[in-house]
Structure 1
């Protein structure tokens, strides 16, 4: 498999925040095409270890080829929502977990994967092509009400009901099977959209999130990080849209604050069980990175550290 062009977003910032012990054990929960993994390995010494995780079979195959000669690295095929299974006996001893929630460039740029509304391909959108329903399966069978709900909740599409109705009318005549076909129907049903954005952007985002269970997986991964990380271990998450970033921000804030007890309860601050502390402020790509990689413009990185 040849290496596709893929630029890892916030590469230096993420790796610098993640690696606090060069001899530690780290998890790259979204291997992609290995940009972050390669940079992490450069910071590790001979005792350091890195576990890559990815649900995309192509990414796993690429990892096996790219890092086959590095004994410090191992790859695991599956979702980061199952990191606890992947980590095995390392639970509670992980020094850092990185989650880069963006879709990798090869996934977007290969028409046959079905993620793109700019190139024609089969309407698939599964990150793990070995299991689950495709986008076409879902679009052609889901109720109009549920289509509208997903477009609104996951895509924050204000014309969700109108677009859902147009899709249902069209599929009654002919089922959807191609990306550009769906994109054209969405475009025709969308009366207004943001300047510089394709009118199908939000709907395709929503379908991808729904097909891959991305928000459920993210919540599971965040919860697992508390059990996996050693005291002082870092959680680094790079989000690319507001739904994900709000989940991450809320999770860190709640674990930093600890359980909310009734007012007036005679409990000292030191007695409240707090499990995380935020490290620094949210980080965004600078103008130089955005000019070189337009996909970094919406990226937000948040960092938290596990308390002892």
Structure 2
């Protein structure tokens, strides 16, 4: 990545759609918008540019992303506050900044373009690299640690549930057998082993057969689903009345979690059959997308990484004791 041009060739996914989705909530003076997944700062830059009076708080667990996005957003001065934090820590971040509620929240989940493009991070299966996969390289276990220390049962579990891999048990057996000969350190060996463990007929479709294994390892290394399961309720808690939240997911497990949290807040909790639903049982979130919204064909042509994105948008319509 060229540090002289933090944006590089990066194309932010569904950029204008996300800005438009949040616009009604963040147009008023004094509005605060949170970019929970700053990355290279494309969405944050657009929000700050199109809403000159908005204040931005942006978090990222990746120090490299914060540094590069900081260069990109420097011209906005104190309108932008960048914080090294995981997005489930949002309530603590806002408390330290003296902010009680926010009007807009954006999540762009999954691995960032910068992380995919930097070979030494180990996220991409198309090139040989150290098996790291940590979004924050200052702490935590690496993908190599997982491969070399987890039991067969643990490996099979994460491959099946996080990678949705049909051949999880077989791949786990190969990993356990081969690590006895030599510990795993780089990605090319793992890619080849996974390819050989999957039946030839299956390898002919669906792209690189190691894709699901790499997804599973990345999710495990970064605790992504556990963090997201805490982060969405935490974000909804700090969303002001009339505030909006937009979440982009890139795989079904993430999207399912977001859907569940949104649906729970948008559904009455009253027993069925009541002639009048008490206010405390009425929904407090309104879903603004029908299911998950998909990218346009034009966007996919422009940016292939947008192909798998699913966008969900919701608005807070009622205050609750938890707010």
TM-score (norm 2): 0.90
CA distance, structure 1, for counterparts of residue 241 and residue 99 of structure 2: 12
- 8 Å CA contact 2:195, 2:203 repeated in 1: no
Residue 106 of structure 1 deviates from its aligned partner by 1.4
For 1:82-93, list aligned pairs within 5 A: 82-88=89-95, 91-93=99-101
Give the RMSD, CA atoms, in angstroms.
Answer: 1.6
CA distance, structure 1, for counterparts of residue 214 and residue 73 of structure 2: 33
Residue 270 of structure 1 deviates from its aligned partner by 4.2
CA distance, structure 2, for counterparts of residue 87 and residue 193 of structure 1: 47
Determine which of 289, 298, 308 is the counterpart of 2:308.
298
Cα-to-partner distance string for 1:106-149 (whole Å, 9 max, x where unaligned): 10111100101111111000000000001101110000111000
Residue 69 of structure 1 deviates from its aligned partner by 2.8
- 8 Å CA contact 1:92, 1:229 repeated in 2: no
- 8 Å CA contact 1:6, 1:104 repeated in 2: no
**Comparing 85-94 and 47-56, the one that deviates more:** 85-94
Residue 272 of structure 1 deviates from its aligned partner by 1.3
CA distance, structure 1, for counterparts of residue 139 and residue 204 of structure 2: 34
- 2:210 is equivalent to residue 165 of structure 1: no
- 2:242 is equivalent to residue 228 of structure 1: no
CA distance, structure 2, for counterparts of residue 179 and residue 218 of structure 1: 26
Instruction: Name the counterpart of 1:18.
Output: 22
Residue 55 of structure 1 deviates from its aligned partner by 0.3
- 8 Å CA contact 1:100, 1:239 repeated in 2: yes
CA distance, structure 2, for counterparts of residue 207 and residue 217 of structure 1: 15
Residue 275 of structure 1 deviates from its aligned partner by 2.1
CA distance, structure 1, for counterparts of residue 62 and residue 157 of structure 2: 27
CA distance, structure 1, for counterparts of residue 16 and residue 71 of structure 2: 24
- 8 Å CA contact 2:94, 2:100 repeated in 1: no
CA distance, structure 2, for counterparts of residue 196 and residue 289 of structure 1: 21
Residue 64 of structure 1 deviates from its aligned partner by 2.2
Residue 19 of structure 1 deviates from its aligned partner by 2.5
Residue 68 of structure 1 deviates from its aligned partner by 2.0
For 1:140-179, list aligned pairs within 5 A: 140-179=148-187
Residue 307 of structure 1 deviates from its aligned partner by 1.9
Instruction: Name the counterpart of 1:117.
Output: 125
CA distance, structure 1, for counterparts of residue 267 and residue 100 of structure 2: 21
* Structure 1 runs not aligned, ≥5 long: none
Provide closer, same or farther for how the CA distance between residues 240 and 67 of structure 1 changes in structure 2, counting only shifts above 3 A. Answer: same
Determine which of 50, 59, 81 is the counterpart of 1:43.
50
Instruction: Name the counterpart of 1:94.
Output: 102
- 2:79 is equivalent to residue 69 of structure 1: no
- 8 Å CA contact 1:124, 1:135 repeated in 2: yes
- 2:205 is equivalent to residue 198 of structure 1: no
CA distance, structure 2, for counterparts of residue 145 and residue 68 of structure 1: 48
TM-score (norm 1): 0.95
CA distance, structure 2, for counterparts of residue 91 and residue 222 of structure 1: 18
Residue 92 of structure 1 deviates from its aligned partner by 4.3
Residue 266 of structure 1 deviates from its aligned partner by 7.0
Residue 93 of structure 1 deviates from its aligned partner by 2.2
- 2:283 is equivalent to residue 277 of structure 1: no
